[in-house]
Amino acid sequence: MKILITGSAGFIGAALAQRCLQRGDEIIGLDNHNSYYDITLKEARLSLFSNHSNYEHYQIDLTNFKEIEKVFNKHKPQRVIHMAAQAGVRYSLENPMSYINSNLVGFANILESCKNNYVEHLVYASSSSVYGSNTSMPYSVRQNVDHPISLYAATKKSNELMAHSYSHLYKIPTTGLRFFTVYGPWDRPDMALQKFTHQIIKGQNIKIFNHGNHKRDFTYIDDIVEGVIRVLDKVATSNPDWNSDFPDSSTSNAPWRIYNIGNTQPIKLMNYIEAIEKALKKKANKQLLPIQQGDVPNTWANVEELKREFNYQPNTTIEEGINKFVEWFRDYYKI
């Protein structure tokens, strides 16, 4: 297929581009190369596939509708994987307009381009952060998600609603995937795994918020990619049994779907750190701190719908995933 991937220089986007190229798809990559974190890491990810004969790259900001439309008009992608966004819960407290521009205006531009170019299926990144104030575990796509506790989460919830309106009005099949704490080789420097690994190696204190009582449904990048590809290949359809008297919040009478994608086995943050220590063969200097604004204490994905409809089954243990990450980390940073 001909697939347009936004955020193709990003952590998940680059991994998806590689996988699609390996199976013979033609990829149009789009990324703005912003300086939220080290641009050289983004360029290094791109170098893994940018010379591939089936890959063409464009450095464009999501807010530039005219340039995005040019790419869509030129290539006429059959399907779109939208991974580009301003990421990070904590950064949304410092720079909220970045989230409004990238995650709302940018997503609207992608929806308009999909509408104007008759895209067969749009798959886009949502987030486990949409569950916000929910405390019932595991998180289910059938739960209400009207109480986000960060602007980042609010923009991801908004993306789901915006997608529904386009699915309803223009019959564009859209699927939103709520990612649960993705980790692995080539991840972002602002994420806990890279930060902790750098700091442990240097003998610096690692800041552990919520006094280490967090639990996270850490999901390895390969398991995420497998899930996204399976969803991409099966175009979203309407639910013929959808009933407005008893509405299912993950489906619709429009071709619109929402799924959780996670490992389904939440891990205590302290156990996660222990796995990093074991892989590095070095103990961490721990600094315990209160929970930060915008953080949810725990995450745990119910992925029954993804298992049932796509035969999805994550199979990478924390130990395996962190060992693979540390191997990459030492190689990339020459440690």
- What are the residue ranges spanned by the domains of the chain? 2-183+218-263+298-315
pLDDT reading at 241 higher than 80? yes
Q: Are 318 and 181 in contact (CB under 8 A)?
A: no
How many angstroms separate the first and last alpha carbons of the chain?
A: 39
| Residue 209's pLDDT band (cuts 50, 70, 90) | confident
Helix, strand, coil percentages for the chain (3-state, nearest 5): 45, 15, 40
| Residue 210's pLDDT band (cuts 50, 70, 90) | confident
Decide: residue 37, CB within 10 A, 0-12 exposed, 13-18 middle, 19+ buried.
middle
DSSP letters for 244-281: TTS--TT--SSSEEEEEES-S--EEHHHHHHHHHHHHT
Residue 209 has what DSSP assignment?
A: G
For the question of residue 131 being annotated catalytic, the response is no
Residue 294, Ramachandran bin (φ over 0: left; ψ between -120 and 50: alpha; else beta) = left
Q: What is the mean pLDDT of the chain?
A: 95
Q: Express as a percent the part of the chain with pLDDT over 70.
A: 100
| Residue 3's pLDDT band (cuts 50, 70, 90) | very high
Interval 285-302 mean pLDDT: 86
Nearest Cα neighbor of 15 from 331, 235, 324 is: 324
Contacts of 194 (CB under 8 A, 6+ apart): 187, 188, 329
- CATH for 2-183+218-263+298-315 is 3.40.50.720
Number of helices (H) and strands (E) in the chain: give both, helices first: 12, 13
Widest pairwise Cα distance in the chain: 59
What are the pLDDT digits (tens) for 163-197? Answer: 999 999 999 999 999 999 999 999 999 999 999 99
More confident residue, 214 or 278: 278
The whole-number pLDDT of residue 296 equals: 77
What are the pLDDT digits (tens) for 56-76? Answer: 999 999 999 999 999 999 999
The whole-number pLDDT of residue 87 equals: 86
Which listed residue (152, 166, 183, 312) is catalytic? 152
The whole-number pLDDT of residue 298 equals: 86
Interval 261-285 mean pLDDT: 95
Q: Express as a percent the part of the chain with pLDDT over 90.
A: 90
